[in-house]
Structure 1
Amino acid sequence: MAAQAKILIVDDERDLVDAYVRLLERSGYRCVGAFDANQAIQMIDAESPDLVITDLSLPDNSGVEIVRRVRAKLPVTPIIVMSGHNTPGLHEAAQAAGAYISLLKPVSIAELRRVIGEALAR
């Protein structure tokens, strides 16, 4: 059942989004990608994803704001946040806003699959 989950992947690195979409779809997930916070917020409203993966550092908004938007619209949807920067307080703020887990990039596809499976099983 979890393999049919719809995942929204948000990152301003288009190559990363494309790679995660491709690799996760091979694992049986349905994936959609967004490249900035505004697009992600529209997709949250339109797609109602079962899980959201978002970068914390986006050019037009904070990933923490995406976490807040998902929590408001989809209160039980798990959210995985990622960042290439270990900025003090940022990961904690995301988890305080309702993120399931915060990961430091780069994240291997094996680790991402494991975390997705755990998040969807909750």
Structure 2
Amino acid sequence: MERYTTYAAFFDFYLSEHDKPATRALHYLGSTFGITALILTVAQRQPLWLLAGLGTGYGCAWAAHFFVEKNRPATFTYPLWSFIGDYHMFGLWLSGRLPERLKRFRSTPGTTPQG
């Protein structure tokens, strides 16, 4: 497996590992749980919400990989970049820029999702 040395190269790989809309939807759900847990942690000064947010966030994401996309989560090899990638993809989706980014990614030779 190729080792990525830049986040930009990793993010192209990351998008290829999130090719199916259901995979991305489960990631958005997990990211929403994570953000909600962070807000609750601050608002209630209860750090256990962070554990709940991590558990539900990663639970949704990993379920998507194991049962929908049928691939290995990037978190296992690139934990920090994968975490950043989740919110990068989420932000692109919320801003409406994800379809254009996926279109650009899919039109670049050598960046097609691995089956």
TM-score, normalising length: structure 1: 0.29
TM-score, normalising length: structure 2: 0.31
Task: Select the structure of larger CA radius of gyration.
Answer: 2
Where relative contact order (Cα < 8 A, 6+ residues apart) is larger, the structure is: 2
Name whichever structure is richer in helix by fraction.
2
